[in-house]
Structure 1
Amino acid sequence: MTCFDRSDVGLLLLRLGTGGVLAAHGAQKLFGWFGGGGVAGTGQFMESVGYAPGKASATAAGLAEAGGGALLALGLATPAAGAAAAGAMAGASAVHVPNGFFAQSGGYEHAASLGLTAAGIAVAGPGRLSLDHLLGHTANRDWMVPVALAVTAAATLVVVGARTRRVRRAAEGEQDPLFEE
């Protein structure tokens, strides 16, 4: 008899797939790997879509994606990893919402799918084929799930809200107070 069941294998596959994709996107932002812009190029893009300051925004998004993705893939600190990745994907979704749902039109489909999967893994747990399980779930306690998701939700609301106000001011031709001289 094996100590693993179908759900453990399924969670492993979800963690590896989602975590791997997130980590690769984070590596694009942080290091310029896989055709990415690195912090400088991603920072310029972040500023162009309303996230400022750009380099700090690129670094935060890159760390949430690369770190959250790697930790999800390993099944380590799963509540925090899933929450961080979900928050980053909520920020990405905000950029793509004006383009509708489908990714082929530049919509938020891909970011939302990654974010919801990461949040789902945070809630479900990593399964027994994980470092969290191997380490006795010291960084994967039940109370950590709502705390990690709530803290991330609050931070995401602040960041996306500031971006929304910045984009709205730019559309109305107003100067952003962050960049006033």
Structure 2
Amino acid sequence: MTCHSRRDLGLLALRLGTGAVIAAHGTQKLFGWFGGGDIDGVAQAFEAMGFRPGRPSVIASGLVEAGGGALLALGLATPAAGAAVAGGMAAATSVHAPNGFFATSGGFEYPAVLGWTAASIGLMGAGRYSLDRVTCHRLDQPWMVPVAFVTTAAAAIVIIRRRAEALAADRRADAADATPAED
């Protein structure tokens, strides 16, 4: 087995495993599969986490995960898929960041690793055993890498900032409610 064959098999294994895990999380949100809740229940949880409005946020997150994960697994539109998943995982990381790094304490370790892996695949390309190769890289052109990552980074910054603002507004409202009324 040549060095390139091993590299391509490794990329295939990495894509299949990572893409399947991410796609499964997306289908939990969208369809309630694999023990997920219904979309309205997930939307309420998203609202509580500061992602507003909840239902469109769940749909966007679910589509990024289900679609991006499936595309990563298939090795199709790899720069866009990797960037989209990395952006989605950046938002998930922002939810877990207050709990520290390790997943055992509810930290951001898991979404960070998924996002980092997806970004790395998006930057590397899918390898020989991929639909990008079968389609002659029509959806994996060199210019697509910076466009996908810059666009996704900008969107993730906006989403994370809006979430932080919503949570800050919630804290202010809670503080105002807790302040005793003066006579």
Instruction: Return the TM-score normalized by structure 1.
Output: 0.93
The match for 2:58 is 58
CA RMSD, aligned part only?
1.6
Residue aligned with 1:172, SS: helix
The match for 2:85 is 85
Distance 1:107 1:3, change over 3 A: closer
**Unmatched 5+ stretches in structure 2:** 176-183
**Identity rate of aligned residues, in percent?**
58
1:27 paired to 2:47: no
Quote the offset at 1:172 in angstroms: 2.1
**Deviates most, 31-40 or 19-28:** 31-40
Residue aligned with 1:92, SS: helix
**Unmatched 5+ stretches in structure 1:** 176-181
Post-superposition CA distance 1:51-100 (Å, at most 9, x none): 00000000000000000000000000001111111111001000000000
1:115 paired to 2:107: no
The match for 1:154 is 154
CA distance in 1, matches of 2:31, 2:91: 20
CA distance in 1, matches of 2:29, 2:9: 30
CA distance in 2, matches of 1:150, 1:106: 29
CA distance in 2, matches of 1:38, 1:63: 15
Considering only CA atoms, is the larger Rg found in Structure 1 or Structure 2? 2
Residue aligned with 2:76, SS: coil
CA distance in 2, matches of 1:145, 1:40: 35
Post-superposition CA distance 1:152-178 (Å, at most 9, x none): 000110111000011112112279xxx
Quote the offset at 1:4 in angstroms: 5.5
The match for 2:95 is 95
**Deviates most, 30-39 or 68-77:** 30-39
Quote the offset at 1:12 in angstroms: 0.5
